[in-house]
Structure 1
Amino acid sequence: MRKFVSLLVAVGLLFGAYAITFGLPGTDATSEAAQPQSAAGGRPAGGPPGGGRARGATSVVTTALEQRPYEVTLYATGTASSLRSADVVTETAGTVVETRLTANRDVEQGEVLVRLDARTQELNLEIARANLQQATDTVDRYDRLRAGGNSTITDVAQSEARVAQQLADAEVGLAEVALEDRTIRAPISGRLGLSEVEVGDILGANDVIATIDQTETLVVEFELPERAIGVLGQAHEVLVSTSAFVGRSITGEILSFDSRIDAVTRSVTVKAKIDNAERILWPGMTFAVRLLHESEPLPVLPSTAVTWSRMGAAVWVDDGGTAVRVPITILYRKNEFVWVEADIADGAMVVTEGAQKLRDGAKITAVGAETEKAPS
């Protein structure tokens, strides 16, 4: 008897615990009937429009698909050089007797910069001219004799005299070139660089004595990472700046880029030219380079809209209250947004929250919409 009473007490305790946790049977129906009705009498007060959420529908947050371009910004450091420059080089060895190598002055092409001792070459030119005059006189005398009927001048002798005249003429030309080589001229027009050559110095052949730069246009050479290849084929301009002129950006035009990736740095070399008509920028300066490129408008979504499966990336589209899975290809990422390639109409409502709970064909109810805008 005592065991039976203990059993009844245990059953009562279990029933009480059940009632406290889940409520008594029929409580939900009674509570629903007891809820106040709205003025329209069609749904309980405080319920969702249309009589409440559809039975079995999943609550999600959606946002409208937008089309926005993606901006690519690449950074690099480059060094400037002249679009055209030349070294002033000696043709022959000699002693300097005159210099006009004042640094940072503008020179014209052909202007005399240095003169070497040319006494030997001047004497050689006089000798060559005297030999030419002698050979010319011989040819003229043979011609007069032949014209007067003198048979002592044979054809061979006359021919040898003409050959001697031609050789003498060539020797004069060589002597003139040798003399001209003693005068060093500017190979191009531009700004003359610093030189340490002074009067009395002995120079050797092919010595570089100065440089000349045409600084109206500069070329900035820099390197970009391998991922920039797709952008280089479409971009045409860069922005450059230098610490010498803080806050000033200069637009440059891409001239060329290498046809291969460097095996060590995994980068591509690029050259861009910048206008320097004011000549305030100098060759050798360091520049911070920015390459900006804007793509065509592409579908852009918050990254929370993307789901993954064995079939790849996809998003869920609200098709009249039904979830439809649409495969996508992610093209770019930036902050919390992704630019994608997908067969989705512009303005379609895409699920951005709650997508992990969905399956194809599931009923959904949008309870809100994203208001955050993608970066332009």
Structure 2
Amino acid sequence: MALWKQLGLMVVAVALVVGWFVYEPRIFGGEAQQGHARQDTTESPAAPVSVQRVRFTGGAGTLEAIGTGRALQSVTLFPEAAGQVTDVAFQAGQRVSKDQTLLQLDSQAEELAVELARARLQAARQELARYESAAGSGAVSGNEVDAARNAVETARIQLRQAEVVLFDRTLVAPFAGVVGIPQVDAGDRVTPSTEIATLDDRSALLVDFEVAESFAASVELGDRVRATTPALPEAQYAGEVSAVASRIDPQTRTLQVRARLPNENGRLRPGMSFTVRLPLSGRTRPSVPSISIQWEREGAYVWRVTEDDTAERVGVEVRRRDEAWVLVEAPLEEGERIVSEGMQRMRPGVPVKIQSDDQGPQVATEPGDGV
């Protein structure tokens, strides 16, 4: 009887094991498959972002640069000779004309030298006349006549030299302009290295400034400019580009440009600082929000939203920026969506959800001379 019970228990155990292998995949395998199905059908949540649209701008851009004004002509005056000052014939800030006398040195000895040279020239001419009259009768040889002619020429040169020395005793204005403060007084002794005063032609001012290499081809002679100076903040001065350098500076990658500002009323003075604004007509470029620019070791980039609402990274080269917008060099099309908020969640291919799409017009200019 005990043996029969043992055999019965063994049959029941075998049946339980067989049943386990038959039904376990259906129970646990089904649940696993359902779990996998639920996992496969669960999508990654879309990243909420705000976007703004790309616009192409640049035609109405303005370049802004800082420069220092200098006179149309400017010189520091020195005497041609040493001597004692007998007269200072100008006052500080006086407008003078070309060749106007500014300073006189003692010249008594030089005046006597001129008189003596004139007398010698007169005597040489009279002697030449007598010799030429007598040459026809044979009383004077041809050699004597030639010698008399040479004497006249020598006397004429000596007179000219004496006149030059006398002229150097007077300092005159080389061009019309405004003289500065005199550095000498009557009675002072001066030498050719003694500074007398400055002279500036302020009828116009020249302002040199620099333009970035990327805009060098946009600047031409005659381009109109507008300038302001902190010395006269209420005024704005219109001028034009009067000179453009022939080459790009390899160190700064800039082009030197010179503007000419009319100054008929004389309010502008050399040495003033100026902010020069030059409209540029260069080619248009894509403009993106400044807050959308991201940086990494390789350079700058932005996140573009593709047509299927996923994130795509686009490398950009920054050209010009203002407070809100940046002009860039990049493979972007007008109207494309650029992420302006929510960049921290961006990865290539990540789905995005547009929460705000600013499609309004934007104003992008090129106000700076560099980034």
Q: Please, what TM-score do these two structures have when normalized by structure 2?
A: 0.66
Aligned to 2:126, which of 127, 133, 137?
137
Partner in structure 2 of residue 283 of structure 1: 270
Partner in structure 2 of residue 190 of structure 1: 177
Partner in structure 2 of residue 98 of structure 1: 87
Distance across 1 between alignment mates of 2:52 and 2:315 = 16
Aligned to 1:212, which of 172, 185, 199?
199
Contact 2:311 2:346 in 1 (8 A): no
- Deviation of 1:338 (Å): 4.6
Partner in structure 2 of residue 171 of structure 1: 158
**Is residue 356 of structure 1 aligned with residue 342 of structure 2?**
no
Note closer, same or farther for the CA distance 1:182–1:336 as it changes in structure 2 (3 Å cut).
closer
Three-state SS of the structure 1 residue aligned to 2:218 is coil
List aligned pairs for 1:68-107, cutoff 5 A.
68-69=57-58, 76=66, 78-107=67-96
Aligned to 1:346, which of 334, 338, 348?
334
Aligned-residue sequence identity (percent) comes to 24
Tell which deviates more after alignment, 83-92 or 58-67: 58-67
- Deviation of 1:118 (Å): 1.8
Three-state SS of the structure 2 residue aligned to 1:109 is coil
Note closer, same or farther for the CA distance 1:173–1:72 as it changes in structure 2 (3 Å cut).
closer
- Deviation of 1:237 (Å): 6.3
Distance across 2 between alignment mates of 1:190 and 1:326 = 61
Distance across 2 between alignment mates of 1:96 and 1:196 = 12
Contact 1:307 1:315 in 2 (8 A): no
Note closer, same or farther for the CA distance 1:293–1:306 as it changes in structure 2 (3 Å cut).
farther
Contact 1:216 1:275 in 2 (8 A): yes
Contact 1:66 1:301 in 2 (8 A): yes
Report how many aligned residue pairs link the two structures.
Answer: 312
**Is residue 115 of structure 1 aligned with residue 99 of structure 2?**
no
1:289 is aligned with what amino acid? T
Note closer, same or farther for the CA distance 1:178–1:63 as it changes in structure 2 (3 Å cut).
closer
Tell which deviates more after alignment, 343-352 or 203-212: 343-352
- Deviation of 1:84 (Å): 0.6
Distance across 2 between alignment mates of 1:107 and 1:204 = 23
RMSD: 4.2
Tell which deviates more after alignment, 243-252 or 110-119: 243-252
Note closer, same or farther for the CA distance 1:238–1:166 as it changes in structure 2 (3 Å cut).
same
Note closer, same or farther for the CA distance 1:239–1:159 as it changes in structure 2 (3 Å cut).
same
Note closer, same or farther for the CA distance 1:374–1:307 as it changes in structure 2 (3 Å cut).
farther
1:230 is aligned with what amino acid? S
Q: Please, what TM-score do these two structures have when normalized by structure 1?
A: 0.66
Contact 1:307 1:356 in 2 (8 A): no
Contact 1:237 1:291 in 2 (8 A): no
Partner in structure 1 of residue 114 of structure 2: 125
Q: What are the superposed Cα offsets for residues 197-221 of structure 1, whole Å, 9 maximum, x if unpaired?
A: 3322222235331222111212345
Partner in structure 2 of residue 153 of structure 1: 140
Q: Which runs of 5 or more structure 1 residues have no equivalent in the other structure?
A: 1-24, 26-53
**Is residue 234 of structure 1 aligned with residue 218 of structure 2?**
yes
Note closer, same or farther for the CA distance 1:114–1:310 as it changes in structure 2 (3 Å cut).
closer
Contact 2:178 2:200 in 1 (8 A): yes
**Is residue 318 of structure 1 aligned with residue 306 of structure 2?**
yes
